[in-house]
């Protein structure tokens, strides 16, 4: 796998230990394989979708690739017994002394990244989507850094809800999901449902209450989106009660709380085909629903 480079200066700051990944939207690499960062790095999935909304609205921020979903994901692990989340970076002269201490955490962090990759690939394969590609980013001199340049199907960024789901799946290993012994779809479903019963985090909240069944419909029946471009799907003009769209993510649509009423009504119809009950929990807004087909 080829390494991709990015200017580290001032970008990869703060520590996430073994608890998380930060994401940003990225551009197409240039001839020297340098990747352009289009947005700030975000630890919150919904902040990332809000950044995409800004990108689509303002041409001066850079051009997003609408044919592929392009992300940068990274984490920086702590030197055990030396650093906490508020620590300053290790001085260059001390790096040789602490590099070995960090090796165990780097291996754990790498495994957590790999769980997310496997889960994404398993779901993509099941639904006939192109498999996402994960290119390791050159850490240069940063011995605590693990990062990937990720290129996936444009379907993953079609709406804020899909982008939120994409990053949630990639973060699954960091929540504590370890995956099945055999990575096939049925085994993944069984393991995810078991995880949902035992845990209480974001991933478990999506799995519980039958929402994982709705996620299956969301991935299988993208035709309910019709042929609308990204700019339209991220627009706040389509949201009920003049909502700003900040929390529009995977949890919103699966729980029936999305303010995108055109989308939720279409999704409800798609769920009916599978015998799954889906309740729209947002009041009708005739201005938004006018012209819905």
The strand order across the sheet containing 68-76 reads: 22-25, 68-76, 145-153, 133-136
Contact 18, 174 (CB under 8 A): yes
When pLDDT is cut at 50, 70 and 90, the band that residue 73 belongs to is very high
Percent of the residues in the chain that have a pLDDT greater than 90, as a whole number: 21
Counting every residue written for the chain, the total comes to 293
- Nearest to residue 233, comparing CAs of 243, 242, 245, 221? 245
pLDDT (0 to 100) of residue 85? 60
| Torsion (CA) 200, 204, 207, 209 in degrees, nearest 10 | 10
Report pLDDT for 103.
82
Query: How far apart are the C-alpha atoms of 248 and 185, rounded to whole Å?
Result: 27
* Domain locations in the chain as residue ranges: 22-289
Per-residue pLDDT of 248-275, as tens digits, reads: 888 888 889 898 888 888 899 999 988 9
86-95, long-range: CB within 8 Å, 24+ apart, which pairs?
87/15, 90/144, 92/141, 95/141, 95/143
Q: Which conformational region is residue 27 in: left (phi greater than 0), alpha (psi within -120 to 50 degrees), or beta?
A: beta
Q: Give the mean pLDDT of 149-153.
A: 95
Whole-prediction pTM? 0.85
Residue 201: the pLDDT is 67
Average of pLDDT values for 49-73? 85
DSSP state of 223: G
pLDDT of residue 15: 42
If pLDDT is split at 50, 70 and 90, which confidence band does 13 have?
very low
End-to-end, the C-alpha distance of the chain in Å comes to 45
List the one residue out of 93, 79, 96, 60 whose CA is nearest residue 18: 79
pLDDT for residue 202 is more than 80: no
* Strand-pair partners of 34: 5
Among the ranges given (163-167, 235-239, 242-246), the one the predictor scored with the smallest mean pLDDT? 242-246
Burial of 65 (0-12, 13-18, 19+ CB in 10 A): middle
| Cα separation, 125 vs 119, whole angstroms | 10
pLDDT value at 190 more than 70: yes
Residue 3 — very low, low, confident or very high, per pLDDT cuts 50/70/90?
very low
User: Which of 96-100, 219-223, 285-289 shows the lowest per-residue confidence on average (mean pLDDT)?
Assistant: 285-289
Coil, helix or strand for 24? Answer: strand
> Who contacts 97 (Cβ-Cβ below 8 Å, separation ≥6)?
none
Per DSSP, 239 falls in state S
């Amino acid at each position: 796998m080829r390494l991709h480079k990015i200017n580290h200066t001032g970008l990869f700051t703060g520590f996430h230990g073994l608890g998380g990944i930060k994401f940003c939207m990225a551009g197409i690499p240039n001839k020297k394989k340098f990747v352009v960062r289009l947005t700030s790095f975000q630890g919150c999935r919904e902040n990332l979708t809000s950044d995409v909304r800004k990108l689509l609205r303002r041409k001066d921020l850079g051009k997003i690739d609408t044919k592929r979903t392009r992300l940068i994901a990274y984490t920086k692990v702590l030197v055990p017994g030396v650093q906490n989340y508020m620590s300053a970076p290790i001085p260059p002269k001390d790096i040789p002394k602490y590099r070995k201490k960090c090796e165990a955490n780097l291996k754990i962090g790498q495994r957590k990244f790999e769980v997310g990759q496997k889960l994404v690939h398993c779901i993509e394969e099941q639904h006939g989507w192109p498999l996402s590609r994960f290119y390791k980013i050159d850490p240069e001199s940063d011995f605590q850094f693990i990062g990937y340049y990720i290129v996936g199907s444009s379907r993953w960024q079609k709406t804020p809800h899909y982008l939120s789901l994409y990053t949630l799946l990639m973060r699954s290993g960091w929540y504590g999901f370890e995956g099945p012994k055999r990575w096939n779809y049925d085994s993944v479903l069984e393991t995810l449902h078991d995880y949902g019963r035992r845990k209480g985090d974001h991933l478990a909240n999506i799995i519980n209450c039958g929402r994982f069944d709705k996620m299956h419909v969301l991935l299988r029946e993208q035709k309910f989106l019709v042929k609308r471009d990204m700019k339209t799907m991220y627009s706040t003009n389509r949201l009920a009660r003049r909502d700003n769209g900040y929390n529009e993510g995977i949890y919103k649509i699966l729980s029936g709380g999305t303010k995108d009423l055109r989308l939720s009504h279409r999704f409800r119809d798609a769920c009916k085909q599978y015998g799954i009950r889906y309740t729209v929990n947002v009041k009708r807004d005739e201005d938004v629903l006018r012209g819905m087909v």
